[in-house]
Each structure stands twice: as C-alpha cells, then as structure tokens.
C-alpha cells in the first residue's frame, strides 16, 4: 500500500518543514490539491507554491486538479514534472485527448471520479490511464467524513481493471484513516491519500505506518 499525504492539511506557514517531515516519515507520494474556486467551492495553490513544494520534496508529486479548465491548469503544472497528474471526468469533454497530452509531456495521467460518478464511465478510458482516483468525500475540503460506499466501488473497479487487463493503479482520497485503510486495501486500493489524519497526528511516521497496516 502506498500513502500520499494531502498537504491541504499541512501548516502552510511552515510548508518547507512540513514537506521535509512527511518525506522523512516514509510517505510514497505527495498529494497536491489544486482547486480553482469554480469546480469546487475552495481555492488552493498554484504553480509557484507547488514548485516550492517540489523543491523541498524527496518524493514525487501527485497533483489532483479540481478545476473547470483542465487543459489550462494541466499546462501550468506539467513543467513541474509530477509523477501523476489527475483530472475529474465530470469536467472534461475530451478526456482521451487530455490523457494523451499529459503522457506526451512525460507525466502519468490519471482520472478522478466524484463519489456519485459510476465506474462504467471508465469503460473506454481504463486502458489509457495509469491511475484512477476514487473520491470518498465530495471534493473541496480536507477533514470530511469517509463515504463507506466507496469500499464497494473500489472492489468493483478492481474487478473491471482485472477483467480488462488494464495496468492502472487505484487511489482513494478523502476521510481516510487507520480504521478504514484495511477495508480499502482488502477491496483492492493501491494508493491511499490522507490529509487530516496524518497532519493532525502526533507522529506522521506512525500515522503513515497505520495506513500501510504496518504496526
Ligand atoms: C478533497 C481533497 C483531498 C483531501 C483529503 O477535496 O481532494 O485530497 O484534502 O483530506 P482528508 O484526508 O483530510 O479528507
Ligand atoms: Zn485530493
């Protein structure tokens, strides 16, 4: 199981030290939530700050776009060379074109589904992406409650991936903690994002280990 701390819950007044601390604590990726105030009712960070994050990080970035104009924002963040760049299927008329564009820039493309979006929308996309991100909260804010129906959705997506012989990873994002992580792992998740659970803990290392089910 890979763990991607969401820096939305980090102390932004102390961002460099926070990034260094989660990298040292054993995270696998750094999850960066980009919100535009239109697709979601919150506004976060742009490429200037994310570039500072990338410089402080010893782990690759996983950039999650929650925006209306995906191509515009993708072009702002692709030069930072994240490992993954993911965008919402609900907000993209030409997802296959954007997936191709991201890959041609040397970045792994991923697609994100809101909690209400069915996985059958992925039927003709699943073999083209490196990751599917299932939202387990309504996007926009850290610290919300996990929606348990995403456990079954994860299981169904795992079946779809196996049936179609696709290579993509499953990431789940929102309300994840040491208690729901075992169910998600059992259902077939590969990467778990956690913001509030890690950054509000006394020990980032122990929180990451709890999600990885290492005790
Ligand atoms: C929600 C974001 C998540 C969120 C996760 O819109 O995509 O990445 O910050 O934070 P927690 O783990 O606090 O729900
Ligand atoms: Zn996210």
Token look-up 């913001």 returns 195
pLDDT of 215 reads 75
33 has catalytic annotation: yes
Ligand 1 mean position, distance from CA 113 (Å): 14
C-alpha 18/C-alpha 142 separation (Å) is 16
pTM of this structure: 0.98
> pLDDT band at residue 77, thresholds of 50, 70 and 90?
very high
Q: Which of 28, 62, 130, 173 is the catalytic position?
A: 173
What domains does the chain contain, in order, with CATH numbers? 2-211 (3.20.20.70)
Q: Evaluate if residue 69 carries a pLDDT over 90.
A: yes
Do the beta carbons of residue 154 and residue 45 sit within 8 Å?
no
> For 92-112, what is each residue's pLDDT tens digit?
999 999 999 999 999 999 999
Atom of ligand 1 nearest to the CA of 40: 6
Percentage of the chain beyond pLDDT 90 is 99
173 has catalytic annotation: yes
Q: Evaluate if residue 70 carries a pLDDT over 80.
A: yes
């Amino acid at each position: 199981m890979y763990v991607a701390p969401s820096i939305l819950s980090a102390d932004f007044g102390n961002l460099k030290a926070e990034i260094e601390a989660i990298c040292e604590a054993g995270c696998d990726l750094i999850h960066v939530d980009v919100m535009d105030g239109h697709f979601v009712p919150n506004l976060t960070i742009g490429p200037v700050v994310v570039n500072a994050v990338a410089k402080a990080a010893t782990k690759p970035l996983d950039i999650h776009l929650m925006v209306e104009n995906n191509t515009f924002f993708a072009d702002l963040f692709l030069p930072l060379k994240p490992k993954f760049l993911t965008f919402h299927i609900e907000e993209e008329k030409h997802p296959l074109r954007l997936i191709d564009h991201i890959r041609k820039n040397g970045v792994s493309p991923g697609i994100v589904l809101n909690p209400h979006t069915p996985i059958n929308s992925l039927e003709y996309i699943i073999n083209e992406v490196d990751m599917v991100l299932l939202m387990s909260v309504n996007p926009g804010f850290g610290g919300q409650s996990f929606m348990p129906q995403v456990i079954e959705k994860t299981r169904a997506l795992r079946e779809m991936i196996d049936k179609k012989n696709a290579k993509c990873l499953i990431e789940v994002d929102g309300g994840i903690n040491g208690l729901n992580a075992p169910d998600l792992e059992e259902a077939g998740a590969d990467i778990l994002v956690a913001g509030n659970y890690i950054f509000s803990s006394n020990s980032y290392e122990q929180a990451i280990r709890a999600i990885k089910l290492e005790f």
